[in-house]
Structure 1
Amino acid sequence: MAAFIPTKATARLATLSLFCGLGSFLWGYNIGILATIFVNPGFIKALHSVKPASKWASQKGLITAIYYLGTWIGYVFLSGPLADRVGRRYSAFTGAVVTCVGAAVMTGAHGKDAYAMMIIGRIISGLGNALISTAVPLYQSEIAPAKKRGGLVVMNHIGMVTGLAAAFWAGYAYSHWTSKLGNYEGWRESVALQFIPALIFIVGLPFLPETPRWLLEKGHTDAAYKSLTYLRAAENNPAAIEEEFTEIKDSIETNKLVKEVAWYELFTDPFLFGRLWKGALLQFMAQMCGATAIKYYLPTVFIALGLSKDLSLMASGIESTLKIGLTIMEMFIIDKIGRRNSLLIGAVVMAVAMVVNGALPLAYPHNSNHASDYACIVFIFFFSFGYSVGFGPNAWVYGTEIFPTQIRAKGISICASAGAIGSIVVGQFFPVAINNIGSKTYFIFFAINVACVVILATLYPETKGKTLEEMDTIFGKSNLEDHETHDHEHEHVADEEQVVHQGKL
């Protein structure tokens, strides 16, 4: 029985990671609620005062895609430097505040400026969520021991899909408020609900311990030792953390041989670039596989398969709720079967789901066969299974663990920006493609997932069970240390020559 009771250290790590998942919840809610208001009559009326209804598809595409312009800006220019400068906690703190500003602008959208306000609010929200979505898994990765890191970082994705589910259920609930006041206020209130988890997250973050790696990087040795002692529950046995603390400290000191690592080092150092393109391609594939389309247009997809608006919102809520359970399952197996195997399984399942959704509506057009429509709905759920055990959590787990500490935040940010580019592409083209070529759109996602299987099988090494300091053995040691070691040797020789010269004098 005692074997099933978590240790004090495990309970602390789980609690901290779970609380950080609240930030991911905010991120997921902010994404999911848009899918529900796209089919809300009050929102459609507010936005259609700007453009004719015939252009609704491209209008939805722009509202969806423009969010990722904000995330791209945040990933490339802000999230890495901010996480390095103020720490992982306060980077997430800043992101939550900015996301709330964006949500407030969207909530207030009305009149002839409604469309412009939605665009502005979406960009601001994207900027804030970029900070959250990098800082949270970075924090979780850096507080976790190697054997538990995958499961703890998956809590980031659990928080995100829980936020998605909450958003779909909120949208479903508000869809029943059909009075004149409900049409005007309902969708606005559903957007504003995210202020509740955001406030809890913002208030609680300053009370979390900062990661030992960031503290050591900033020279706060005592604070780092205290943080690691707390994280490993070693207050009564300090010797238990000595080996890990020394390993982290030595790694930081080695990495600090270069005082400031510039962005361009990720592109000029061949071993760092090898990590960068793998992490960036993984994030890009995670969006191009069809996930962005399902997240943002799921109720619309279900309506196209013959469900009523009410049932489509309910089905979307069920689908997102199942994702929570699937991601929790992934949390327990990721450190056993590995990142690579999880990604491969997920990509295969998603490929099958997409080809079915492409083929059946062609065989039975115009909802002429209800069994065909229901089969498509079932395979959308299968797609969710594939994403939940594959790209969904693993793109972040893999990306947060492959970079050296002193450039990890910058590396993750650039990788995430590649995901933002993929989301912009899918978010903009999907509603237009569905309008023009119908279910053939899913064949595009099928082909992408097949390509992903080949790429993952041939180019991605396994990283499970490795400490963050052991990644050099998998990806190769960067040239940063070698360059600086040479500089130090040169300085040492110069010092010796100076002493000899002084002796002669």
Structure 2
Amino acid sequence: DEGGGLCPQEDEGGPAAAPGGSPPPALTPALALTVFAAALGSLGFGFNIGVINAPQKLLEGEYNATWAQRWGSPPPPQTLSLLWALSVAIFSVGGMGTALAGGAVAERLGRKGALLASNGLAVVGGALMGGAKLGPTYILIILGRFIVGAYSGLVSVLVPLYVGEVAPLRLRGALGTLHQLGIVIGILVAQVLGLRALLGTPRAWPALFGAGLLPAALQLLLLPLCPESPRFLLARGQRGRARRVLLAFPAELGRGPAPKVGLLELCRSRRYRQPLIVTLGLQLAQQLSGINAIFYYSTSIFEGAGLQDPAVGTIGTGVVNVVATVVLVERAGRRVLQLLGLLGMMGCATTLLGGPFWGAVALASALAFVGFFAVGPGPLPWFVGSELFPPGPRAAALGLAGLLNWASNTAVAMAFPAMQGFWGDFGEGLAVAMAFPAMQVPKNLGILGIWGFLGFFGIFFGGFWVILGDFPVIIG
């Protein structure tokens, strides 16, 4: 069947019963350990997003000193701004370079094996940044950021893929949210450690960057204790080993090995077109909302708003992000959460149209913006792909979704310094999203195309999609 609609369950089968015929427990110790060990990668990912924000002034001073030592005079302001923008955005470039490869790496090494191997990049990148004072600071920071970005690009694909395949159907949404929860906790930890009272000092900032090694080290210790994904084992024809994994895991197992679907076949096939559009559209909506501009540049945002201590606003956004992400996705439909989040973000962003940030309004709007993001547009894109695709095309679909996420992330990171005074334009783009009527497509799946634009350039930037129908869930 090459017609429209969502992927059929051609090779999935129903839930596998536990040995003895009784239903498996909801959350076993083995499953809890496995999901926690996998989410440590998400924690490292989030830490590397947030760590660059708090020490901005310290690093700019180091860049000045390094440049002056090498070239005989401090860099022009434009050069310093460029170096800083590159230090921020190169992280996304690294992620974009490896996200598409994440699916292929997972197919070659296994889900667990690929996660273990990715930690090598975290160790190298963290060591370069932690030792940046020993050499040309801006070169080592930029190179280290690129490498940890490459690590994070792999993690952004591998963690949702692994968790989605070991989680039982009834817990897939809740456990899938742990990837986003790990990211936001990592961001918050980086923001707290970056305070001047802790590691945000001229002498201690290298330790701040080196702290990103800790989640990778802990994952290297715990992940070998966890089993491989039973669905990956099934795809390799190791059905007996997959069944043994299910003795400790309450996951569902299909009837037989799923045929592998490559990237080109995925993009050409009409069978996968609608779930692919949904998966890619959610990733675009997440990034083009402008959320990472807050995480990357909140210090300069709140300084421009006249906030006496920008760290208060930065820490506040992190706390709100963590608290709001704890809302269980399983208690409300995907459609409701996505639309509620986007509508709330639109309202927060449009309050800033027509003028600059100022004081309490900037802080309140930023906190509410982050809170609405964490309700739906934040966590949903990371696990919906695992729900919509069967095992065959799942790795390729999540890899392509990761590439699109990182590409739009890079664009926002590079564009925001130039358009900081025009933050409300993100709100205009979100408003357009909410104004369009839904298109009815087969199997009651509605998709909505909109153009979000960066107003500083006065051009349309990209399209993203909003789900207007409940998500069917693939078993397997």
Which one-letter code corresponds to 2:45 in the other structure?
Answer: W
- Are 2:143 and 1:120 aligned? yes
Mean CA deviation greater in 390-399 or 148-157: 390-399
Match of 1:10 among 21, 24, 27: 27
Query: 2:475 is matched with which residue?
Result: 468
Match of 1:67 among 83, 91, 94: 91
- Are 2:351 and 1:328 aligned? no
CA–CA distance in structure 1, aligned partners of residues 418 and 50 of structure 2: 20
SS at match of 1:307: coil
Query: 2:18 is matched with which residue?
Result: none
As a proportion of its length, which structure holds more strand? 2
Which one-letter code corresponds to 2:429 in the other structure?
Answer: I
Alpha carbons 2:386, 2:394 under 8 Å: kept: yes
Which stretches of structure 1, 4 residues or longer, exceed 4 Å deviation after superposition?
173-177, 454-458, 461-465
Query: 1:343 is matched with which residue?
Result: 338
Query: 1:31 is matched with which residue?
Result: 49
TM-score, structure 1 as length reference: 0.78
Structure 1 segment 282-293 matched on structure 2, within 5 A: 282-293=282-293
1:233-269 C-alpha deviation (Å, 9 max, x unpaired): xxxxxxxx8xx43xx134x3xx32xxx5332011111
Larger Rg: 1
SS at match of 2:132: coil
SS at match of 1:102: helix
CA–CA distance in structure 1, aligned partners of residues 199 and 174 of structure 2: 38
- Are 2:307 and 1:312 aligned? no
Match of 1:448 among 425, 429, 432: 429
Deviation at residue 62 of structure 1 after TM alignment = 1.9
Pick closer, same or farther for the CA change 1:454–1:19 going to 2, 3 Å. Answer: farther
- Are 2:178 and 1:155 aligned? yes
CA–CA distance in structure 2, aligned partners of residues 374 and 294 of structure 1: 16
Alpha carbons 1:400, 1:408 under 8 Å: kept: yes
- Are 2:386 and 1:400 aligned? yes
Deviation at residue 109 of structure 1 after TM alignment = 2.3
Pick closer, same or farther for the CA change 1:132–1:303 going to 2, 3 Å. Answer: same
Pick closer, same or farther for the CA change 1:213–1:445 going to 2, 3 Å. Answer: same
Structure 1 segment 76-91 matched on structure 2, within 5 A: 76=100, 78-91=101-114
Match of 2:233 among 207, 211, 215: 215
Structure 1 segment 38-187 matched on structure 2, within 5 A: 38-39=56-57, 41=58, 43-48=59-64, 49-50=66-67, 51-76=75-100, 78-110=101-133, 113-173=136-196, 182-183=201-202, 185-187=203-205
Query: 1:271 is matched with which residue?
Result: 271
- Are 2:284 and 1:298 aligned? no
Query: 1:358 is matched with which residue?
Result: 353
Which one-letter code corresponds to 1:374 in the other structure?
Answer: A
CA–CA distance in structure 2, aligned partners of residues 130 and 277 of structure 1: 20
CA–CA distance in structure 2, aligned partners of residues 464 and 433 of structure 1: 35
Deviation at residue 341 of structure 1 after TM alignment = 1.4
Alpha carbons 1:147, 1:465 under 8 Å: kept: no
CA–CA distance in structure 1, aligned partners of residues 55 and 123 of structure 2: 18
Which one-letter code corresponds to 2:109 in the other structure?
Answer: V
Deviation at residue 189 of structure 1 after TM alignment = 0.8
CA–CA distance in structure 1, aligned partners of residues 81 and 340 of structure 2: 33
Across the two proteins, how many residue pairs are aligned to each other? 418
Deviation at residue 463 of structure 1 after TM alignment = 5.1
Which one-letter code corresponds to 2:319 in the other structure?
Answer: T
- Are 2:397 and 1:411 aligned? yes
Alpha carbons 1:83, 1:90 under 8 Å: kept: yes
CA–CA distance in structure 2, aligned partners of residues 456 and 68 of structure 1: 33
Deviation at residue 111 of structure 1 after TM alignment = 7.3
Pick closer, same or farther for the CA change 1:219–1:191 going to 2, 3 Å. Answer: same
Alpha carbons 1:94, 1:128 under 8 Å: kept: no
Alpha carbons 2:199, 2:208 under 8 Å: kept: no
CA–CA distance in structure 1, aligned partners of residues 326 and 346 of structure 2: 22
Pick closer, same or farther for the CA change 1:141–1:112 going to 2, 3 Å. Answer: closer
Which one-letter code corresponds to 1:301 in the other structure?
Answer: I
Alpha carbons 1:9, 1:231 under 8 Å: kept: no
Pick closer, same or farther for the CA change 1:277–1:169 going to 2, 3 Å. Answer: same
- Are 2:223 and 1:205 aligned? yes
Deviation at residue 398 of structure 1 after TM alignment = 1.3
Deviation at residue 196 of structure 1 after TM alignment = 1.7
Alpha carbons 2:346, 2:428 under 8 Å: kept: yes
Mean CA deviation greater in 99-108 or 272-281: 272-281
After superposition, the CA RMSD in angstroms is 2.2
Mean CA deviation greater in 23-32 or 456-465: 456-465
Mean CA deviation greater in 53-62 or 335-344: 53-62
Pick closer, same or farther for the CA change 1:112–1:17 going to 2, 3 Å. Answer: closer
CA–CA distance in structure 2, aligned partners of residues 86 and 454 of structure 1: 45
Deviation at residue 335 of structure 1 after TM alignment = 1.8
Q: Which runs of 5+ in 1 are unaligned?
A: 1-6, 233-240, 363-371, 470-505
Pick closer, same or farther for the CA change 1:456–1:306 going to 2, 3 Å. Answer: farther
CA–CA distance in structure 2, aligned partners of residues 428 and 456 of structure 1: 32
Q: Percent identity?
A: 25
Pick closer, same or farther for the CA change 1:348–1:218 going to 2, 3 Å. Answer: same
TM-score, structure 2 as length reference: 0.82
As a proportion of its length, which structure holds more helix? 1
Pick closer, same or farther for the CA change 1:11–1:170 going to 2, 3 Å. Answer: same
CA–CA distance in structure 1, aligned partners of residues 237 and 243 of structure 2: 11
